[in-house]
Amino acid sequence: MPTDDRSLTTSRIAHALFPQVRSSVLAELVTASQEGLHLREIARRAGLNSKTVMRELHSQRDAGILVSKKVGNQVIYRLNPECPIYDELRSIIRKTVGLAGVLREALEPLANRIQLAYVYGSHARGEVRSDSDVDFMVVGDVSLREISPAIRTAGRMLRRVVNPTLYVPDEYAAELRVEDSFVSRVHNGLRVDVIGGSA
């Protein structure tokens, strides 16, 4: 049965896969630093009641999806790297309600003029610290002025500074042919596709 374009938005996919509380909690933990987050911080960021978040955290921890550790008088939660679906779960969350999903939704009005967009650097490598910004490559027939409002909106939602690098397609293709250029290194390195690529 054919579907209209609206049915394929990342937020609709996320809501079909996960209940709202679960997707919100997992999105916060996927975009957080490797150290993890405590209950109140997750609840504050997600805009949810602490008791609701606590139930979800305990459920996910009991299932082996999350791990927790006590630090002082707080319990810190993070994704469990030993979970059998760790990589797949991170990828789904990133593409729907996490980093890639937020950026994709923000750029949706300009998507027909963007050939390729992806996150590279620490977020793509999974080496996120609390102060890590988001390195974001955009290839298309758009200006920095045109994408800046969307980038700022995404940054506010992610609570991260998003640093866009912008290329027109011909310039990007030329740089890609230069061995060991910045573009060829990030293009062929670890990345999280947002538009084009495998997105």
pLDDT at residue number 100 = 80
pLDDT tens track for 94-136 = 777 677 878 888 999 999 999 999 999 988 887 777 778 899 9
Alpha helices in 159-195 (DSSP H): 169-176, 182-188
Selecting from 1.10.1050.10, 1.10.10.10, 2.160.20.70, 2.50.20.10, what CATH number does the domain 5-82 have? 1.10.10.10
CATH 1.10.10.10 location in the chain: 5-82
Model confidence at 189, in pLDDT bands (50, 70, 90)?
Answer: very high
- Give residue 16's pLDDT: 75
Question: With respect to CATH, is domain 98-195 assigned 3.30.460.10?
Answer: yes
Classify residue 84 by burial, with Cβ atoms within 10 Å: 0-12, 13-18, 19+. Answer: exposed
**pLDDT for the residue numbered 15:** 67
Q: What is the pLDDT of residues 127-173, one digit of tens each?
A: 777 778 899 999 999 999 999 999 999 888 888 899 999 999 999 99
